[in-house]
A and B are shown apart, each in its own frame.
Chain A
């Protein structure tokens, strides 16, 4: 029974004694062998890398009233926007907030899901019932709508606050599947052994049990990033997040509200950030799908 439920929970059923370092190395090699996984990895690394490094090396573009809506040229490869700023520089520098908030929110949501899910499954009883009830409630509220409401009311001036808000409402689905996996994992012999050794609850749960789900958690962390970016950019487009500074989402909002879609010279202003966001999302999705295929052989074609 426990083996069957482990399989339905998508766990790699393998001896737990396998050395993790070996598995980690094998993961990267396998990833480079799958074309879509490799492409996804490259996309993510390049976009994240450029977005993190660009603010240091590329200086902020300056507004220039003589260069409003110029088409792409050798001086401005992607042209300029309505204030005469270089679009290429804006795109290069515009990913920092989006990526920071996306990764931060995903980290928070994954952390909450791991702690709540594993403890609920480990203790069962009343704690489990309450945790499940909270999950039910949070899962029910349409997240996007709630974020829109909260985003409009709170003045979310810092990226940290945005990430915290996004992370605080998106954990229930992952929490449930982690709970299901811990339910089956905790019946295994090695957990029994750890418990008999009296290693302490925290150690048994977070050192002995949770690392067995590392790959599953990694995949869900990546998916959580895409969800957080979706919600974040949506909030910006509705104008519910602070419009200070500049990032991809603010660029799209600016282009849209200034009627750029009817101006042929402004096409690059609206499409460059759209392309950047889509490519980042695509990379993350391809990465998570290949990881899933590698780590869960049942998904591979028979």
Chain B
């Protein structure tokens, strides 16, 4: 069956199948991990009722039974099959702790804010970092090189959540540069997209501190990577030849050096994005920015199984697809990767 064999050995197809397999394994692992660990949402709710309102255990349990559609006594395999069947239909189930809200709805409401703030943060950091890195490579040993290297190392050493704390304490409380209280949340209540420009201004106002945190903590790393990458390219023969041909300096800088220096960083962007989204839990919690991090944190507190599963699944899928796209891009850019894969 040469045709079937060719299909099986198709790089793109194999890569996509592997991505789907990884997502399935992670979804399954998360499903069981979350359930096999101590405490369940009903228990948490009962404890809360007893602690807050001083009701008896029987009353709390009865109220829990009427409140939750979730029954912890259902066999775990049945729960798993239901979950998987739902996933095939693109349905991640209903939130357990918040009645009447689907997990998809929750994620669709909060994830965009995280992606927005993290995305803008990474974008600014990369653009500034690439520029600084190229300047550093061209002026090696100069004041800019040493200064940016020192500051970049220092900023890289500060974990992003500590940076968030420093920004709030120094900028907000000590210097009074901004009013941290009014910047909480993702948007000022009452302002919606119909306000147009005012709405855009408002969401940037609320996202500015998280964005600042992401930019400050990652820009130095990008600059250093870009510097070493550019330094390497500058030594290549084709750059020397381009210079010898008397090409315009600006043209060499953008088309010969810049383009080739950026190439190896494509995969790095995918990994960094995953890391920053993970770190967003800490940062969002500090600024009380209502993104997926805050949602995850509250789901942890209430042991909201379905929401936890959903968030982890979506984050995993995002990383898997980012890697998939990076891999496919590379296989187009560098055909050796395709042949390596089938040869192994």
Contact = CB atoms under 8 A, between A and B. Distances in A.
B22 interface: yes
A234 interface: yes
Q: Which of B26, B161, B275, B282 has the most CB of A within 10 A?
A: B282
Nearest to A229: B159
Contacts of A271: 169
B282 to A, nearest CB: 5
A141 B156 contact: no
Contacts of B38: 153-155
Interface stretch (B74-82, B93-101, B115-123, B313-321): B313-321
Contacts of A282: 153-154, 157
Nearest to B285: A238
Given A137-B26, A140-B22, A302 B166 contact: no
Interface residues of A, number: 45
Nearest to B315: A142
A261 B319 CA distance: 36
A286 to B, nearest CB: 6
A142 B274 contact: yes
A230 B159 contact: yes
Contact of B281 (A155, A238, A299): A238
B162 A278 contact: yes
B183 interface: no
A141 B312 contact: yes
A278 B158 contact: yes
Contacts of A240: 300
Contact of A299 (B228, B275, B297): B228
A237 B282 contact: yes
Nearest to B156: A285
A224 interface: no
A145 B278 contact: yes
B319 A148 contact: no
A136 B158 contact: no
A153 B37 contact: yes
A283 to B, nearest CB: 8
Question: Interface of chain A, helix or strand or loop or mixed?
Answer: helix
B281 A285 contact: no
B278 A256 contact: no
A155 to B, nearest CB: 8
Contact of A278 (B157, B296, B316): B157
A141 B308 CA distance: 13
Contacts of A144: 275, 278-279, 281-282
Contact of A137 (B25, B172, B234): B25
B141 interface: yes
Interface string A249-263: 000100010000110
Contacts of B235: 302
Contacts of B279: 144, 234
Nearest to A234: B282
Contacts of B33: 149-150
A139 to B, nearest CB: 8
A289 interface: yes
A213 B174 CA distance: 48
Contacts of B29: 137
A233 interface: yes
Nearest to A129: B344
A274 B22 contact: no
B161 A234 contact: yes
B167 to A, nearest CB: 11
Interface in B249-285: 274-275, 277-279, 281-282, 285
A302 B282 CA distance: 40
A171 B35 CA distance: 25
A270 interface: yes
A152 interface: yes
Contacts of A302: 231, 234-235
Contact of A274 (B34, B166, B274, B301): B166
A272 B282 CA distance: 20
Contacts of B147: none
A219 B232 CA distance: 21
Given A137-B22, A137-B26, A301 B231 contact: yes
Contacts of B174: 267
A173 B153 CA distance: 22
B297 A281 contact: no
A183 B93 CA distance: 45
A147 B153 CA distance: 26
B105 interface: no
A289 B154 CA distance: 12
A141 B316 contact: yes
B237 to A, nearest CB: 14
A286 B275 CA distance: 21
B112 interface: no
A145 B162 contact: no
Interface of B: 18, 22, 25-26, 29-30, 33-34, 37-39, 140-141, 150, 153-154, 156-159, 161-162, 165-166, 168-169, 172-174, 228, 231-232, 234-235, 274-275, 277-279, 281-282, 285-286, 296-297, 300-301, 308, 311-312, 315-316, 319-320, 323
Interface of A: 36, 133, 136-137, 140-146, 148-150, 152-155, 226, 230, 233-234, 237-238, 240, 252, 256, 261-262, 267, 270-271, 274, 277-278, 281-282, 284-286, 289, 298-299, 301-302
Given A278-B159, A285-B157, 17 more contacts: A137-B25, A145-B278, A149-B312, A155-B38, A226-B157, A233-B159, A234-B159, A238-B297, A256-B165, A261-B169, A270-B169, A274-B166, A277-B162, A278-B157, A278-B162, A289-B153, A302-B234
Closest 9 CB pairs of A and B: A153-B37, A144-B278, A282-B157, A142-B278, A281-B157, A261-B169, A152-B300, A261-B173, A234-B282
